[in-house]
Amino acid sequence: MQIRDLPYSDPGDPDVRSGPRFLFWLGRNQLGGQLKSLSWGLLHQLAIAGLPVTVGLAVQAVIDRSG
């Protein structure tokens, strides 16, 4: 992992003509970080959901075989 120099380089002048344009400008400049955050969050939620799903499938398999 490479250490980044701080402070970050100047991102330029924001588009302040309206609120949505400013938010779009912010999002476009931070797209890489947003995608990394989305990926880690999705991985985390899948890991949390994995155990109950596995246990539920195992219990269902036992119930189906006993009938």
CA angle 56, 60, 65 (to 5 degrees): 155
- Looking at residue 52, its amino acid is P
Alpha helices in 1-67 (DSSP H): 19-29, 31-66
Instruction: Please report how the helices 31-66 and 19-29 are oriented relative to each other, as an axis angle in degrees rounded to 10.
Output: 80
**pLDDT for 61 beyond 60:** yes
Residues 32-60, mean pLDDT to the nearest whole number: 94
Q: What is the pTM of this model?
A: 0.59
Indicate whether 11 pLDDT > 70: yes
